[in-house]
Structure 1
Amino acid sequence: MAVMAIMSAALTAVVPVASGDPLRHATVAGAASPAAEAATSPPWRLDDVPVQGRANLVGVTAVARDDAWAVGFTVTGKAAAATAEGSSAATGRMRAAVQADQCDDHGLPSLALHWDGASWSQAPIPDSGRLTSVSASGPGNVWAAADCGVLHWDGRTWARTSPVSIPGTDGADLTGIKAVGADDVWLSGTAWNGTTGKDHGFVQHWDGSRWRLVPLPALGDDFDISGVDARGPQDVWVAGTDHTGYETHAERLLLLHWNGHGWKRFAEPANTMWRKNAVRVRAVASDDVWLAVIGRRVPDGNDIRRPLLLHWDGTAWADTHAPEERGDLHDVAADGRTVLAAGDTWSPLDVEYEAYARRWTGDGWTPAPLPAPGQASIAALAPIPGGGMWAVGATGDEQTMRPFIARSGH
């Protein structure tokens, strides 16, 4: 299933950073970054993560400088038997799909951490499997998408909500969530049919009392919706991929905008990629939207993943010509000073990889400092109000993975 390949990128398990490691409160720059570049890119500072055992953080959001959330999952022995399509213990990447009937016995309990301006603490949360994304519009309106539903923080407790089930499908991945206000929350996802092997993307909206499906235009017979972002109820961007017929022609990106009344689809710009998995769309302004895509130049699933980064200027989407190098993107974000794209250099045919980060210069992409050394993956980024960025992910391999949280610009 095409959508599962996208989810595997977000759930990378990557040489642990021990609690006493001197790097934990030091700045860490990527070895590949030239000294001059390090001087112009904010360094990272690693925070203590109050989690014991194997765990991964795959989502982060910041309400204020003293209020942020990081989400993901821990790993128990029950998860050991769950293998993932395309995963390999040798590479340290583990993705265990949690079906609806496994939500009470999946071995990947939900993990939520809260930042109060001084330290991170673990917050009690109903177990819904892996938390895969998080968004907040205020301290009492935080939303997290999970394997087994959607969770809402009202400022006191986390509680479950139930998105709409997709008729005629066998399950769904919730791929993105965006909270604009208490009565304006957007959810993206992809449902699959085990009989046909086809994916069907969807978008849902929370109106303050319940979730409703938002009808999409005709988008193909086999497509995913892998990300959503919004600046208001009349300015919503959704991204995905039409996988129909990819054996004979290049996949087509789905670039959709909601104006409060209906969807408009925009053409993707010319690019060199054949396989294209949209990962994250970020709406900074009406004329400043970014899209991170995992690209491959051939249909073969073993081809290395390459970064494809697109930009909307208010008129059209354009390819920003990221270097066609080994780079498996997981996120792109902007903090008002820096546009950063991040992920790792994992490849299906190579067990060695490290974190990957590139900064937009206005003319192109250049190497940026890395928040974690060694074998590591950056799963998500979040701009910090007032400037700076949070980065979360994991270090180590499948057996030793430990979560990290880093911040820049403080």
Structure 2
Amino acid sequence: MKYVQIDTQSDASSPTTPSTSKQKNLGKILVEELLAIGISDAHLDEHGYVYATIASTTEKTVPVICFCSHMDTSPDSSGENVKPIVHRNYQGEDLVLPDDNNIVLRLSEHKDLKNQIGNDIITASGLTLLGADDKAGVAEIMEAATYLMQNPQIKHGTIKILFTPDEEIGRGVDKADLKKLGAEFAYTMDGETLGSIEDETFSADGAKLVINGVSAHPGFAKGKMESAIKILADVISSLPKDRLSAESTSQKEGFIHPVGISGTAEQAEASFILRDFDNDLLKAHGETLDSIVKEVMISYPKSTYTLTIKEQYRNMKEVLDKYPQIMANGIEALKRAGLTPVTRSIRGGTDGSRLSFMGLPCPNIFTGGHAFHGKQEWVAIQDMVKAVETIVHLAQVWEERA
């Protein structure tokens, strides 16, 4: 409740790290709280990352594990003046958010609400997102850290904590100092449904298309003008609609998705995200986009284009399959928390995607949050408690199996 009221929205247009200085406001509070529970090395660096160490309580040599969550919230919906509300003892009723009665959480639209009867649901008030993505994860790590510090009789190895900025804009680990962190394996607490653990993400590329048209005075443009805006519109409208689109795909299906357009008659540009679980298919999506552009450009012989495709992140399963103990220990911890583990694939990415390829293998564990990035975002307190229990059990499992 405290963390979500601190505005930490990231900004993709900003060149700085963190992209917004206000993210450090939460980082400073987290450091103060970590120091207060006795974690003496907790600190916030100049880039907005929080590092901390829970010392080992065992004589065994145990791999150093890290728990990681991101502090920023999505730019997709306002994170300013968040007013969290606890709906006690949920009984399946519609949850009408008080500051905008048009924002309603209905059992028919949020399927996991059927598993929350009797639980306590946290939402925002209807004007903002809640920020459970990923302040639920932050809160769970902080709660588990507090519990472990208060109960030194629990046997565990050295545990590292990492809170990152700018995950929502794809820059969450750009400035992470993994040498300083000193962990061998990690878990992001950034998932969704109770009991889920995720070892697979999309592979992701970003594409930028620039159309160079031919501008002319509109009053005398006949036979001369080739509007870059209209060319770009033709490209967008030529994208597949019943396949390869975000709106028409699910499960393991990839897509080509336009995320931004701008321009004039002389020059216009669009940005796209390309996604698939299979790297070869991902490459094929880029080739499909290029072929669509080429086909459109035939009708505009005086105009030119450039299409630039850059790697963003890759499917972390490629790395995690080399270290089966990470998932095995995670699944055991979920079972000890009384849960039925569900291994899932993420139709998206996490900090763990890039951390895995940077040498820190890192699957993703549930936080209990739902409907991320929008005003209907919610989380159940009881699910968050189970996430805390999972973290504590994970620490113990790694020690026992060392």
Whether TM exceeds 0.5 here: the answer is: no
**Which structure carries more strand by proportion?**
1
Which of the two has higher C-alpha Rg? 2
The answer to which structure, 1 or 2, has the higher relative contact order (CA under 8 A, 6+ apart) is 2
TM-score, normalisation: structure 1: 0.28
